[in-house]
Structure 1
Amino acid sequence: MNKQDWIALLGFVFMCLAVGGISGYFTAAGVGEWFDGLRKPFFNPPKWVFGPVWTLLYLMMGVAAFLVWRQVGFWHLAIGLFFVQLALNFAWSFIFFSAHRIGVALTDIILLWLAIVATIFVFAPLSAAAAWLLAPYLLWVTFASLLNASIWRLNPAQ
């Protein structure tokens, strides 16, 4: 890899981690009395699980975006879809934890899931490695969608 590639790789990884960090701020601000007071399903993981999982996923997302960027450049449908899913990812934490809109967050996370599937589909012919790097992200968002739906069902007034 040349210097430009290293800079791009670090840029994509930093961007994903920054989105995660800002989302984490909204999450930390919202986790408290409101969230603790919600009824949650039996499969709700402990709070400490989310930070390490999301950090790893954001690292993998950054590498995946870099691998595709290296193939097609910045102005390509694949990179555009990547940014769409990243924006939906970012929005979810604000909607759920800051706005306390569980149902709206469920709509967002379903759109996020669809955007991740589309991103993987478009990434695959460009870089199989990039598509596979997003597979754990899709699995985690599938789980998070089920969790979001369950919390919404258990807390209908929200």
Structure 2
Amino acid sequence: MSVLSVNGRVDKGRLVKELLIPVVGGMVTGMLATRNAKEKYRKLKQPDFAPPSWVFPVVWTGLYATMGLANYRVSMKKKPTAAAESLYDIQLGLNFLWSFLFFKWNLRGTALAEIGLLLGMITLTTYQYYQKDKIAGRLMLPYIAWVSYALRLNYSMWKLNK
């Protein structure tokens, strides 16, 4: 069984669209919101568990692809739900907003509150996806894990750089 096949078929056009929206959206957000982010990140006081800056684009590209694949799988179901679609759109918007809050506008406390909300929305999205398609729900689990880690990192950087 292929992860790309839903109900015995693959819709290549829809698959490409659902993959490109978060991946390209993340790239554009990165270019707009995180200009000079490597230097800003390096200058911040960081906790011992902070990764090097090159880790972020690598991890996020993979996460954007898996969330796009999860969304594709749910959208291919016979009865996609408006709740799942809305939650996905909201969490994706919050995801993109966080980079502006943390890097562009230096609002680390606001970014911390926002990432908490983001984690809640991802969790709700994952639950909805799992109800519709077990594979789609499982595809969202690395995203939950990474954003949980990012929340802890955001909190630590906020505390260390007040």
TM over 0.5: yes
Contact (CA 8 Å) 1:9, 1:63: kept in 2 or not?
yes
Aligned 1:43-62 pairs, distance under 5 A: 43-62=49-68
Which of 81, 84, 101 matches 1:78?
84
**Superposition RMSD on alpha carbons, in Å?**
1.6
- How far apart are 1:72 and its partner, in Å? 5.0
1:135 aligns with 2:141: yes
Higher normalized helix content (fraction of residues):
1
Corresponding residue for residue 3 of structure 2: none
- How far apart are 1:81 and its partner, in Å? 0.4
- How far apart are 1:21 and its partner, in Å? 0.3
Q: Partner letter of residue 58 of structure 1?
A: Y
How far apart, CA to CA, are the structure 1 residues paired with 2:22 and 2:81?
A: 18
1:67 aligns with 2:73: yes
Identity %: 36
Query: Per the alignment, in what secondary structure is the counterpart of residue 51 of structure 2?
Result: coil
How far apart, CA to CA, are the structure 1 residues paired with 2:79 and 2:92?
A: 18
Aligned 1:88-107 pairs, distance under 5 A: 88-107=94-113
Corresponding residue for residue 118 of structure 1: 124
Compute the TM-score of the two structures, normalised by the length of structure 2: 0.89
Deviations 1:35-83 (A, max 9, x none): 3321110110011111111111111011000000111566611011000
Contact (CA 8 Å) 1:26, 1:93: kept in 2 or not?
no
Corresponding residue for residue 28 of structure 2: 22
How far apart, CA to CA, are the structure 1 residues paired with 2:38 and 2:145?
A: 27
- Name the count of aligned residue pairs: 154
Unaligned runs of 5+ in 2: 1-8
Q: Partner letter of residue 142 of structure 1?
A: S
How far apart, CA to CA, are the structure 1 residues paired with 2:48 and 2:133?
A: 38
How far apart, CA to CA, are the structure 1 residues paired with 2:13 and 2:143?
A: 24
Deviations 1:82-107 (A, max 9, x none): 00000000000011110010001001
- Cα 1:55–1:32 change in 2 (3 A) is closer
- How far apart are 1:125 and its partner, in Å? 1.2
How far apart, CA to CA, are the structure 1 residues paired with 2:78 and 2:105?
A: 37
Compute the TM-score of the two structures, normalised by the length of structure 1: 0.91
